[in-house]
Amino acid sequence: MPEFQNPVAGFGVTFKAMFKKRLTEQYPEEKKLTAPRFHGRHQLNRHPDGLEKCIGCELCAWACPADAIYVEGADNTDEERYSPGERYGRVYQINYLRCILCGLCVEACPTRALTMTNEYELADRSRESLIYTKEELLAGLSETMVDSPHAIHPGMTEKDYYQGLVTEAAPGTVRQVAVSKGEKADGTAQEKGAHA
């Protein structure tokens, strides 16, 4: 009798499962909603006038346990200003082949420049495309923003930016021409000893 009951018990499980509702998800066509605090792809945020919040402090890179973040800071000038402070992140890269999406970099950021979005589709066909650059990570511009580099809001200081007193770009704010060191604004090499 015990030899006969074992197969019947197995079929009982099969018959129960046959009449249950299917749990198949139609993933590519219907994307799954994520939790509000889901840790997905990173985003570099901007101030309401378009200046970048990243100050190039490299604390996110130090906090990363997977060594997935690379940052190079540089000094702002009056002719080429990317953030309201003294420095900005000239080079910013996140390697998603290493990143474990833990969020420690977000906690380490003193200016809330780095946050995590709900985007979870990070697969690609080449290794190079999974190293996101600053241009890929920067938040898009809204209608009230001017792309950096540009001058800070007239009459405001760095502290005013971080207190949220700047709400949009000042009227007449225009994008500055980005010039590499040793170059003039027209793209030609600057002679040594000559002033721009």
Task: Dump pLDDT digits (tens) for 88-139.
Answer: 999 999 999 999 999 999 999 999 999 999 999 998 999 999 999 999 999 9
Residue with tokens 């309201």: 84
The overall average pLDDT reported for the chain is 87
Q: Supply angle C-alpha 40, 95, 115, rounded to 5.
A: 35
Residue burial 50-66, b: 16+ Cβ < 10 Å; e: rest: bbbbbbbbbbbbebbee
Return the CATH number of the domain spanning residue range 43-162. 3.30.70.3270
pLDDT category of residue 27 using cuts at 50, 70 and 90: confident
If one counts every other C-beta atom within 10 angstroms of the C-beta of residue 176, the result is: 19
Summarised one tens digit per residue, pLDDT across range 30-74 is 888 889 889 999 999 999 999 999 999 999 999 999 999 999 999
| DSSP-based three-state secondary structure for 90 | strand
Helix residue ranges per DSSP H, 27-94: 59-63
